[in-house]
Structures are given as structure tokens and as C-alpha cells.
Structure 1
Amino acid sequence: MQFGLFTVGDVTPDPVNKTIQTEHERIKNTITIAKKAEEIGLDVFATGEHHNPPFVPSSPTTTLAYIAAQTEKLILSTSTTLITTNDPVKLAEDYATLQHLSDGRMDLMLGRGNTAPVYPWFGYDGSKAVELTIEHYQLLRRLWDEEVVDWEGQFRTPLQGFTATPRPLDGVPPFVWHGSIRTPEVAELAAFYGDGYFANNIFWPKEHYIRLINFYRQRYQHYGHGEPEQAIVGLGGQFFIRKNSQDAVREFRPYFDNAPVYGHGPSLEDFTAQTPLTVGSPQEFVEKTLTFADYFGDYQRQLFLVDHAGLPLKIVLEQLDLLGEVLPTLRAEFDARRPANVPDAPTHAARVAARNAAASSLVEPVETTDGSLVEPVERMNA
């Protein structure tokens, strides 16, 4: 199981001390938080992509490359990269470059985003969001998988004899997660390609995400990638913890009530009862997080949203220290529960090894039941 953080990069006034971070402070604090994530033993740090206030992460690859240069083990990801409004050619080249700079310590999560005005800003029609998602991703895959691409589609100019540079590191493209809140077509796309599926899992009750994840697992099997329980699933989550539950609730309530993510809606008590948000003690956080596998099946990646709603950096870092204290327990419990046939989260090194093993099986002769050897070409033609 991989554990990590994801940030939406909001610049929200602190409702307690009435201050607000500048964009410069928010960007630099994001770097501090990512480095802290590695310090406490987390596996992943992911940043969103937004092009409108009150959010600052408009250039994920710039931010992640900067973090890569200051970390050693942390996997850098996105949450999400806008597949709808970004040019697939630029995505192919930007993320391949990040792959080289980070020595493979990266992957990306693709999504549509949830801000309608973004589409015309980049020359697209928001009513075509699903069609854009499918066409753009099909082209992105070809740009990574094929050396020379001839292509023509509906939403961009044709390509003739085009080669995206640099080529993916070690000839293995970045692993892709498809992030979704509500769209089954995204789950279908992830299943078709055998990619990962990331359920946001922070806004709505678990029953909503159970339906999406189960659909993805069934379609993953349908396309021949493995059994449903072997599909690659990631989940979001949120927490605010203190040693004492009452202190956690008291301290977090004003932030919750004013948060752009979920404020001005259900009460804190209703929201924690109906969604994965945990506000309480470390033990309550561990117990609730462990229930996720009961609802969604065994999965590979758990990301938490922590630095939002105007929480000052000092409190965010305190939250991460508390997370670091219970992280070994979470790892041990999830590992003990996971069946042997459920795969680990994909990494670049593991995917390169799998590719090399598959290639080796095609070049070495295999002994048949009668003792004869079948050469690779004969097997491929059989």
C-alpha cells in the first residue's frame, strides 16, 4: 500500500486568525509540506492543477520537478492533470521530461476538473468534456507507446510523422491513474487500458464510490487484465487529528465551516458520519481508514487531503507529525489484510522489470511436455 498526500492548492483565509497566505507563501509552503511528507515516511505527494483563483497550482510539472530535486524517495504525482484542456502533445513531453528528471519517481492522475469556465479559456467546449477526455487520452497513449505517430481527430490539428520528445524513461511511459468523482466513462477508460482508477472519496457517501469502483473492477476483468480484486485502485481521504477527540473537533470546526471544499453545507458531525473525513483521535483515524478496504476492496494507494481550508502551515506540519506516528500501524494492518493475489501499487522500477521479464519470455526457448524446445517465433505464430 502506498500512502501519501494530495493538495488542491487553495489560498483560503484563515477563519481563526483572519490572515491569508500570499500566492508566494502558498507555493513555497507546498514544497515544505512535500518534503515533510518524505521525512515522515510517506510514499507519494500529489498536486492538483487549477487555473483560477483561489488556487495556485497551475503548473504541476514545474512544482513536482522542484520537489523531485529536493527529495530522494518520494513519488511525485498529480491530483489531477486536466486531460480535457491540455494538449496531449504537451502532456506527453512535459511528463516524460519529469519522468527523466525524477529518475522515474512519478506518475500522473488524469481528470476533467470541475470548473466549467476553464474550457473556453483553453479553446474547448465544456459540453464535450467526456469526448475530449477519451480522444486526448487515446492520443497521449499513442505518443508514448509509438515512436512515430500519424493521427487525426476531432479536437486538434492532425499529426503526421510526429515523434514526442523526450521518449519515456527506459521505454516505459509513466503509470496513469484516472481520477473521477461521478463519471462511469472515466472508469471504463481506465479499465480498457488497464490503468489505475482513483476515486476522489471525499465529497459523497461511500455508496456512491462503491458503485464506481465496482464498475471499474468488473470492466478491468472484462478487458482481460486480471480478476476484479487485482484492479489498481486509489482513494482519497481527509483527517484532522489531535491526541484528544474533543480538541480535534473544537479546533477544526471553524476551518470546516468555511472551507471551499465542503463548507457552508452539512454540519461537521454529519459530514464525518457520511464521508471518509475523520476528525478525532489518532486511534479513531486509524480505525476509520482501515474500514475503507471493507467497503471498496483491497486497494493500492491512499492519499490524504490535509493542507486546505486556510489551515496555517504550522498546524499542517503538526498534523503530518501525528500521521507519521500512526503510519507504521496503518501499513502493518493493511499489509496483514491484503490477499496474496492483490498486486502492489505500480512503480517505475517494477514496470520496467515486468516489461523485461515479458520480453525475455519471447526470446528464450521453452521446453514442452515432450521435451522438445519451442523457439520464440514458433510460439508467436502458434
Structure 2
Amino acid sequence: MAAKENAGIEIGIYTLADIGPDPITGNALTAKERVKEIIQAAKLADEAGLDVFGVGEHHRLDYASSSPVVLLAAIAQITKQIRLTSTTSVLSTLDPVRLFEDFATLDLLSDGRAEILAGRGAFIESFPLFGYSTNDYDELFEEHMDLLLQLTQNETVTWSGKFRPSLWNAEIAPRPVQETLPIWIGVGGTPESAVRAGRFGVGMALAILGGNPRRFKPFVDLYRQAGIDAGHAPETLKVGVTGHAYIAKTTQQAKNEFYPYYSNYWGYVNRQRGMGTRMSRDDFEHMASPDTALFVGSPQQVVEKILTQYELFGHQRFLAQLDIGGQPFKNVAKGIEMLATEIAPIVRRETGK
């Protein structure tokens, strides 16, 4: 692991598999076409030398991935090096035993490249779908995380809780290739979530989608302090940053090309949440300004943003979401190539010092 750490931070990409119409052409992909593109993007990312590929979970017709592990299993067969993670698994409404066994199987298929990024999810469709109540939002997550961590540590588990049947000397199979399956918690905007990730001693993946990244510094401090207070070794407390990104030769070109898609993306995400707001070009220019967390610009601009955040957080991983808003695949492929060849080498060199 030491050699890897000296190589600087891990850099990768993730997708939520949104299916939006292209705002330029009006065309929308089918779920089948979207899934094929995601697998192709993962293959490109692996061949280009990126470190991590993530797939999200949503239970809606305007997303193509309700089962990240199935997509990641397909990806495992056509990739060699890249680590494979959910981004995120909605742990509150998943059975932890099933989740662990699925990802342990993925670990066998991928020769030890599987990880779980667990979160509470931005949408709540999965609660009625699987028979859970949103009144138990926090309690469910806490209990399921407690069980999931026991499953990663023990081949046989005895456990009892409130929301699922008890386990008595239950055999948890298969066991993964990795000694311990890596677990992360996705944290959006609450200090309680950061403290919880630290207390559990798992990685914390910060979703920083806009604004000044400095406002997330207290979360990182809370996470590390909670981890140390709970008795976890500081070097095991890993921080990841995830964010929206678009890369082009110049920052102006990146903004011009990305604006229609980003405005489109927030248009349909806001509609999904019952809000009718649209993003103006002025709003976008503000969101993409140099001191914000939106990774839109030339390779140099994106490098500067990543390194600024690294100075703030000292994080171990950066994941970019490149494929949002109904973009054609050629845009995504270009972004993967530029991230891997023009950004990753500089960031790894600077953070590996």
C-alpha cells in the first residue's frame, strides 16, 4: 500500500446513469443504450489508467442503474486494473447481507477490485419499493451499517437488530479476495454524517457539487476527530471528493460546451424534486468560477481546483462525474482521455510529494 500512497491520490470517474434528452438534438437514449455506454466508459477509463470507476443506484425510469453490482460485474470482465465501486448503494433500504454477498462476489470476479460506497440516497423511491418507512431514515442506515461492517470482518455472524431478522452463527459467503472489503460512506451536507463515518472507521466520500469547497473543511475535521476518538488509526481514515466535471482545451470552451448540458441536468433533477427552477448562464458562470467546486475548465484549471481542495482536505481520492445532462458519448470519452492524460499525471505528481 505504501508504494500506492507515494503515487499520489487516486483519480477516477463515476456515473449515476441518468437518462436525459440531449438538449441540442432532443434525442434520449434507451436504458439499454445508456448501460452499454457506461460499460464502454469504464473500459476507456481502465485503458487510460484511471484508478476508480463508480456506478450509482436509483429506482426511477429516468435512470438506468438500479443494481450497480450487476453493471460492475459486467465491467469487471472487460477491465484489468480499475477499482470498482458503487456511488452510492442506498444502504438504508438494502439488506446488508445481500449487499455484502453481491460485492464479495464482484470481488472474486474482479480479482480483488470491489468496494462499497454506502449512502442514504438523494431520492426516497426505494423506501416504499422495499417496504421501509422514511420515518426510520437515520435509524435504518445506522443499523444496516453496523451489520455490514460485521459482515466484512467475520465469516460467521451473530447479530440482532430492529429492522431485519436476527442472525445466529450465520455463514456469510463467499468471502472476498481482499482481506477486508473496503467500505465508504457518502456524505452530502450534514455534520452528523461526517461524524458517523468517522465513528464507524470507514472512508468518507464528500459530494461537493458547488459553492466554495472551504465550507466542507469542518466536515473533514469532524470526521477525522470522530475516527480518532473512536479508536481508529488516523491513516485508516480516508477522504474522497466527488464532483461534476467537464474538461476542454480552454476554460471558455469548456463552459460554452457544458452549459447547455449542465442547465439541462439541473432542469430535470429539480423537476424530479418538484422544483421548476432553471439555471441561467449567469448562474452557471458563477458556479464555474475559479474559487468554486465545479470542475469545469481547461486541464490547468481543473488541476488547480483539485490541488486547492487537496491543500484543504488532504484527501486520498477524487472522482469526477462526467456524463450528465444527456451529453453525447464522444464528449464523455474526450473527458476521460483528458482527465487521464492531462490532469491525473500532474495531480499524482504534486500529491505524491
Same fold (TM over 0.5): yes
Letter in 2 for 1:333: E
User: How far does residue 203 in structure 1 lie from its aligned partner after superposition?
Assistant: 4.1
Does 1:284 pair with 2:301?
A: yes
Does 1:259 pair with 2:265?
A: yes
Tell me what 2:241 maps to.
Answer: 235
Q: Give me the TM-score of the superposition, normalised by structure 2.
A: 0.89
Task: Describe the superposition over 1:172-218 as per-residue Cα deviations: whole angstroms up to 9, x where unpaired.
Answer: 23111110102333323321232111101114532432221111011
CA distance in 1, matches of 2:171, 2:80: 31
User: How far does residue 150 in structure 1 lie from its aligned partner after superposition?
Assistant: 2.5
Moved more, 260-269 or 148-157: 260-269
User: How far does residue 72 in structure 1 lie from its aligned partner after superposition?
Assistant: 0.8
Tell me what 1:335 maps to.
Answer: 352
Does 1:187 pair with 2:194?
A: yes
Kept after mapping to 1: 8 A contact 2:59/2:125: no
Tell me what 1:163 maps to.
Answer: 171
CA distance in 2, matches of 1:242, 1:303: 17
Q: Equivalences for 1:25-44 in 2 at 5 Å?
A: 25-44=33-52
Tell me what 1:90 maps to.
Answer: 98
CA distance in 1, matches of 2:191, 2:131: 25
Tell me what 2:3 maps to.
Answer: none
Letter in 1 for 2:250: N
Tell me what 2:160 maps to.
Answer: 152
Tell me what 1:105 maps to.
Answer: 113
Gaps of 5+ in 1: 337-382
Task: Describe the superposition over 1:338-369 as per-residue Cα deviations: whole angstroms up to 9, x where unpaired.
Answer: xxxxxxxxxxxxxxxxxxxxxxxxxxxxxxxx
Candidates 61, 70, 80, aligned match of 1:72: 80
Kept after mapping to 1: 8 A contact 2:201/2:236: no
Tell me what 1:213 maps to.
Answer: 220
State the secondary structure of the residue aligned to 2:124: coil
Task: Describe the superposition over 1:291-320 as per-residue Cα deviations: whole angstroms up to 9, x where unpaired.
Answer: 111222x11110001011111101111112
Candidates 319, 323, 334, aligned match of 1:307: 323
Higher relative contact order (CA 8 A, sep 6+): 2
CA distance in 1, matches of 2:50, 2:63: 24
Candidates 71, 74, 84, aligned match of 1:63: 71
Moved more, 302-311 or 187-196: 187-196
Kept after mapping to 2: 8 A contact 1:109/1:179: yes
Kept after mapping to 2: 8 A contact 1:40/1:321: yes
Q: Equivalences for 1:122-141 in 2 at 5 Å?
A: 122-141=130-149
CA distance in 2, matches of 1:32, 1:113: 25
Gaps of 5+ in 2: 1-8, 271-276
With over 3 angstroms needed to count, the CA separation of the structure-2 counterparts of 1:167 and 1:282, relative to structure 1, is: closer
State the secondary structure of the residue aligned to 1:84: helix
User: How far does residue 158 in structure 1 lie from its aligned partner after superposition?
Assistant: 1.9
Kept after mapping to 2: 8 A contact 1:202/1:275: no
Letter in 2 for 1:264: R
Kept after mapping to 2: 8 A contact 1:206/1:275: yes
Letter in 1 for 2:308: T
Q: Equivalences for 1:6-21 in 2 at 5 Å?
A: 6-21=14-29
CA distance in 2, matches of 1:230, 1:173: 12
Does 1:244 pair with 2:250?
A: yes
CA distance in 1, matches of 2:189, 2:236: 22
CA distance in 2, matches of 1:58, 1:22: 15
With over 3 angstroms needed to count, the CA separation of the structure-2 counterparts of 1:143 and 1:268, relative to structure 1, is: same
CA distance in 1, matches of 2:35, 2:23: 20
Tell me what 2:59 maps to.
Answer: 51
CA distance in 2, matches of 1:323, 1:143: 36
CA distance in 2, matches of 1:264, 1:105: 39
CA distance in 2, matches of 1:41, 1:146: 33
Candidates 259, 275, 295, aligned match of 2:292: 275
Tell me what 1:376 maps to.
Answer: none
CA distance in 2, matches of 1:144, 1:290: 33
With over 3 angstroms needed to count, the CA separation of the structure-2 counterparts of 1:141 and 1:325, relative to structure 1, is: closer
User: How far does residue 334 in structure 1 lie from its aligned partner after superposition?
Assistant: 1.5
User: How far does residue 111 in structure 1 lie from its aligned partner after superposition?
Assistant: 0.3
Q: Between Structure 1 and Structure 2, how many residues are aligned? A: 333
User: How far does residue 117 in structure 1 lie from its aligned partner after superposition?
Assistant: 2.8
CA distance in 2, matches of 1:295, 1:169: 34
Kept after mapping to 2: 8 A contact 1:47/1:77: yes
Letter in 2 for 1:295: L
Task: Describe the superposition over 1:220-240 as per-residue Cα deviations: whole angstroms up to 9, x where unpaired.
Answer: 22123234x773100012222
Q: Give me the TM-score of the superposition, normalised by structure 1.
A: 0.83
State the secondary structure of the residue aligned to 2:101: helix
Letter in 2 for 1:34: A
CA distance in 2, matches of 1:250, 1:92: 43
Q: Which runs of 4+ in 1 moved over 6 A?
A: none
Percent identity of equivalent pairs: 38
Give the root-mean-square deviation of aligned CA atoms. 1.8
Candidates 325, 334, 341, aligned match of 2:341: 325
With over 3 angstroms needed to count, the CA separation of the structure-2 counterparts of 1:204 and 1:250, relative to structure 1, is: closer
Letter in 1 for 2:173: T
